[in-house]
Amino acid sequence: MPSSTTTLSLTTSAPAGIKADALIVGVHASAEGPLLTHEPTPESPWQAITDAAALAGLTGRPGDVATLPGGDLVAADRLVLVGLGEVEKLTPERVRRAAGVAARAVAGLRTVATTLSAVDLTATAEGLLLGSYQFEAYKGARKAAVRTVRLVVPSAAKAAKDELQRAVVTAESVLLARDLVNTAPNDLFPASFAERARAAAETAGLKVQVLDEKALAKGGYGGILAVGSGSVRPPRLVRISYAPRGARTSVALVGKGITFDSGGISIKPGPGMPDMTSDMAGAAAVVATVIGAAALGLPIAVTATVPLAENLPSGSAYRPGDVITHYAPRGQQATTSHILNTDAEGRIVLADAIVRACEDGPDYLLETATLTGAQLVALGDRTMGVMGTDELRDRVAELARECGEDGWAMPLPEHLREGLDSYLADLQNISNNRYGGMLVAGHYLGHFVADGVQWAHLDVAGPAFNGGATYGYTTQGGTGVPVRTLLATLADLAAR
């Protein structure tokens, strides 16, 4: 996993006395002007700081940040004030975003301290590490990330140390996913993705299996092979297993790994096509999640199954009109799909991967993909759509909101499934019904989930990639969504 260049530690020192390059303090917005997150006490200068914040024109709204000289106020050279919004509306996500904003305000500094951690330690640690992220493969660091941050907490006992450790592992898992998404498609193709996943997983002590195109043909993975057939860079299937001793629950993770989606013969229009470098964000997330689960030592067995292919048009590409046969375990009837649009490719590779994942007999299946433009139409670009079996779907959507990634449960209306009936094969890969494209795709995937497996499908077409400007702790490009939701779900299932 990429280890962040920022090191975090805990301190119980009085914040005003900490000698550092900067002290970051949260400020609430109120009718009476800015309000500090700490009550003034006789020995601390918080009232003077509040006055200074007001004079600097800081309102305390989310996104606000101002740097003042530490002067006589605090022992640190600079005082960085960052907005948290109204006290009554405070959430962990507001703290996380403020920490992200503050992290960039202190970029280039060496030693920093913050009291945001006294409000919420996990959110502060995650926000600092995610907000200071820069992808340096193609462009040098603009300003080095802050070197060390001391997190002020009421107690630095074991519970706080463990909480910090979990937050660091979570953030580093997100950063691994971001690195993979941000790697350009000429560098990240099925074979190179597989090798990077193998290296990261083996370093973490996990078992890895990679099927190349020959093994895929031998195994009958007709969906993955069809989608990958247009590219000179052949497809792969990667499997990564974490199996701690004594685990009673098993979870299958599946993530869409289209290293570039041109649409294939059903080619996409030019604008927006470069963003299809992110069409492997689901794959990146599940690879990062299984590694993160191991680093956290979660008492639950996890296997990630990752289909990787590049969807390109060429003389060898699969066509609209083709009928393909999906993977099926020995002795089990294989499903056939009539391809009506080669741009609905994610579901085709996922179908093979879901069947393979279910062959292990997992209790739960968590599957994620940048699957449909319809997700963006339905929920916007920052809210994932969660479908699947009722209970797991609702729990995952709730956990997505709790961890700050934002998700919403979506239905799978029965009549929409009928649009996938084909006159020629078991299914067709797009519907005759123009509406509810995200839900139709969910239905298609649901066909391949084995009976008795609790299942959640996370469509992250919008949230996985930030095509706009940096905000909060969300940098440009890959966001790492839904790594935090998946880790939170694994922790939740492990605790049952």
Instruction: Give the Cα separation of 436 and 387 in Å (integer).
Output: 13
Stretch of 49-57, 192-200, 341-349, 465-473 lying at the interface with Mn ion (CB under 5 A)? 341-349
Nearer to Mn ion, 247 or 273 (CB): 273
In one-letter notation, the amino acid at residue 450 is: A
Q: How far is the CB of 204 from Zn ion (least distance, A)?
A: 28
When the beta carbons of 261 and 367 are compared against Mn ion, the nearer one is 261
Using DSSP's 3-state secondary structure scheme, residue 367 falls into strand
Is 347 annotated in the active site? yes
Comparing CB distances to ligand BES, the nearer of 278 and 454 is 278
Closer CB to Mn ion, 261 or 322, in the complex: 261
**48 contacts: CB under 8 Å, gap ≥ 6:** 72, 73
Written as six digits, the tokens of 437 are: 């494209």
Binds 372: which of ligand BES, Zn ion, Mn ion, none (CB < 5-8 Å by kind): ligand BES
Give CA separation, 96 vs 22, 163, 387, 435, in Å: 18, 15, 27, 36
> Rule CB under 5 A: is residue 367 a binding residue for Mn ion?
no
Among 222, 167, 366, CA closest to 282: 366
Q: Which of 268, 319, 382, 401 is catalytic?
A: 268
Q: Is 261 in the site for Mn ion (CB under 5 A)?
A: yes
Q: Which of 227, 374, 386, 416 binds ligand BES (CB under 6 A)?
A: 374
Q: Is 345 in the site for ligand BES (CB under 6 A)?
A: yes
Q: Is 343 near Mn ion (CB under 5 A)?
A: yes
Q: Which residues touch 59 (CB under 8 Å, ≥6 apart)?
A: 29, 33, 34, 83
Tell me the pairing of strands 301-311 and 236-242: antiparallel
346 lies in the site for ligand BES, by CB under 6 A: yes
CB of 196 to ligand BES, least distance (A): 21
User: Has 233 been annotated as catalytic?
Assistant: no
Binding residue for Zn ion (CB under 5 A) from 21, 213, 261, 459? Answer: 261
Q: Is 370 left (phi over 0), alpha (psi -120 to 50) or beta?
A: beta
Answer yes or no whether residue 346 interacts with Zn ion by CB under 5 A. yes
- Contact flags string 395-434 toward ligand BES, x per CB under 6 A: -----------------------------------x----
Q: Is 39 known as a binding-site position?
A: no
Residue 343 interacts with ligand BES (CB under 6 A): yes or no: yes
Of 61-69, 194-202, 205-213, 364-372, the segment contacting ligand BES by CB under 6 A is 364-372
- Which one from 78, 150, 347, 484 is the annotated catalytic residue? 347
Q: Which residues contact 12 (CB under 8 A, 6 or more apart)?
A: 152, 153, 154, 155, 156
Region of 110-118, 179-187, 341-349, 384-392 interacting with ligand BES (CB under 6 A)? 341-349
d(CA 246, CA 394): 28
Q: Does 341 bind ligand BES (CB under 6 A)?
A: yes
Distance CA 161, CA 167 (A): 10
What's the min distance (Å) between Cβ of 346 and Zn ion?
Answer: 4
Closest of 249, 212, 422, 465 to residue 322, by C-alpha: 422
* Least distance between ligand BES and beta carbon 19 (Å): 47
Would you state the torsion angle of the CA atoms of residues 80, 82, 87, 93, taken in this order, to the nearest 10 degrees? -130
State the residue number with the nearest CB to Zn ion: 261
Tokens, residue 213: 């195109």
Binds ligand BES by CB under 6 A, chosen from 241, 372, 454, 475: 372
The first and second tokens of residue 59, run together, are 């309102």
Q: Is 256 annotated as a binding residue?
A: yes
Instruction: Give the DSSP per-residue string, 194-252.
Output: HHHHHHHHHHTT-EEEEE-HHHHHHHT-HHHHHHHTTSSS--EEEEEEE--TT---EEE
Whole-number Å distance between alpha carbons of 67 and 53: 9
* Nearest Cα residue to 23 out of 163, 146, 126: 146
Instruction: Flag whether 279 is marked binding.
Output: yes
Q: Which H helix or E strand runs over 283?
A: helix 281-296
343 is in an annotated binding site: yes
Residue 310 touching Zn ion (CB under 5 A): no
Report if residue 352 touches Mn ion, rule: CB under 5 A.
no
Q: Which residues are annotated as a binding site for Mn(2+)?
A: 256, 261, 279, 343, 345
Residues in contact with ligand BES by the rule CB under 6 A = 261, 279, 341, 343-346, 370-374, 430, 437, 461
Residues in contact with Mn ion by the rule CB under 5 A = 261, 343, 345
